[in-house]
Chain A
Amino acid sequence: ETGVTQSPTHLIKTRGQQVTLRCSSQSGHNTVSWYQQALGQGPQFIFQYYREEENGRGNFPPRFSGLQFPNYSSELNVNALELDDSALYLCASRPGFSGANVLTFGAGSRLTVL
C-alpha cells in the first residue's frame, strides 16, 4: 500500500502571495490532518478533515484554509503569506475519525517565504 504523499516537496514564495499544498492520503484512510512544523519545533495542528468537512481546527488564522475531496485527498491553502509561514507543512491521514487510529505522516512540503 502507498503511504501519504505530498507535493510539492519544496517551494519558495514571497510575502503576500498565495500557496496551495496537496496531499494524497494513504489507501483506505478517510481522515486527513495538516500540521505546521517550524524549524526546531514540534508539529502544530492546523486542522483536520473528515468526510470532506473541516472537523477540528488549531490556533491558525482564517487565511489558512483547506479542502478534502471525495477520494480523501486534500489541499492546504494559505493566503497573504507572511515570513513566519516559512515551515514544513505535514499532511497525515488515519483510517477513521477516532483518535485511537494512528496517524501516518507524509514527508512534508517545505515552504520558504521571502
Chain B
Amino acid sequence: GESVGLHLPTLSVQEGDNSIINCAYSNSASDYFIWYKQESGKGPQFIIDIRSNMDKRQGQRVTVLLNKTVKHLSLQIAATQPGDSAVYFCAENQAGNKLTFGGGTRVLVKP
C-alpha cells in the first residue's frame, strides 16, 4: 500500500507496551478535538474525541487527555498491538465546522 507520510515524526514501541502520542493545537477557541488513525492506502479513521469542557476521555484501550492551558492534546494507547501501526492525527474543530489537522505521528509497533 501507499505510504501515508514519509517524513513524519516516528514513535517506535514494543508490542504490549503503552504508547503516548502528543499534539499541540493552535486555536484556544476550538471546542472539539478528534484523534484519527490512518493506515497505508486508507482514509483517516475516527478513534476518539473530546470536548473542551472535559480534560480526559477513555475508550477501548485508548485515552485522550486535553490540557487547555497549554493547548496540548495526547492520545494514550494501552497494550499496543501490531494493528496499531499507522499514522495518527489530532484534529481540532474550528469555526464553520471545519477540521484542522496536525502534522501526524507515525507509530511503528515492534514484535
Residues of chain A touching chain B, judged by Cβ–Cβ distance below 8 Å, are: 4, 33, 35, 39-45, 48, 55-56, 58, 88, 90, 92, 97-100, 102-108, 110
Q: A42-B89, A43-B89 are in contact. List 19 more A-B contacts (CB 8 A).
A: A33-B98, A35-B99, A39-B3, A39-B5, A40-B5, A40-B8, A42-B101, A42-B104, A56-B97, A97-B97, A98-B97, A99-B32, A103-B46, A103-B99, A105-B36, A105-B44, A105-B45, A106-B43, A108-B43
Residues of chain B touching chain A, judged by Cβ–Cβ distance below 8 Å, are: 2-3, 5-8, 32, 34, 36, 41-46, 49, 89, 91, 93, 96-104
- Bound complex: CA A4 to CA B3 (Å): 21
What's the A-B contact tally at a CB cutoff of 8 Å? 65
Determine how close the nearest CB of chain A comes to the CB of B5; give it in whole angstroms: 4
Contact of B98 (CB < 8 Å), options: A48, A88, A102: A48
User: Do A45 and B42 have beta carbons less than 8 Å apart?
Assistant: no
Chain A residues whose C-beta falls within 8 Å of the C-beta of B91 in the assembled complex:
42
Contact of B41 (CB < 8 Å), options: A33, A55, A99, A107: A107
Chain A residues whose C-beta falls within 8 Å of the C-beta of B102 in the assembled complex:
42
Determine how close the nearest CB of chain A comes to the CB of B44; give it in whole angstroms: 5
Chain A residues whose C-beta falls within 8 Å of the C-beta of B100 in the assembled complex:
45
Determine how close the nearest CB of chain B comes to the CB of A32; give it in whole angstroms: 12
User: Do B43 and A48 have beta carbons less than 8 Å apart?
Assistant: no
Determine how close the nearest CB of chain B comes to the CB of A37; give it in whole angstroms: 8
User: Do B6 and A107 have beta carbons less than 8 Å apart?
Assistant: no
Chain B residues whose C-beta falls within 8 Å of the C-beta of A107 in the assembled complex:
41-43
Determine how close the nearest CB of chain B comes to the CB of A6; give it in whole angstroms: 8
User: Do A42 and B45 have beta carbons less than 8 Å apart?
Assistant: no
Chain B residues whose C-beta falls within 8 Å of the C-beta of A106 in the assembled complex:
43
- Bound complex: CA A91 to CA B64 (Å): 25
- Bound complex: CA A108 to CA B45 (Å): 12
Chain A residues whose C-beta falls within 8 Å of the C-beta of B98 in the assembled complex:
33, 45, 48, 56, 58
Determine how close the nearest CB of chain A comes to the CB of B75; give it in whole angstroms: 14
Chain A residues whose C-beta falls within 8 Å of the C-beta of B99 in the assembled complex:
33, 35, 43, 45, 103
Chain B residues whose C-beta falls within 8 Å of the C-beta of A41 in the assembled complex:
5, 103-104
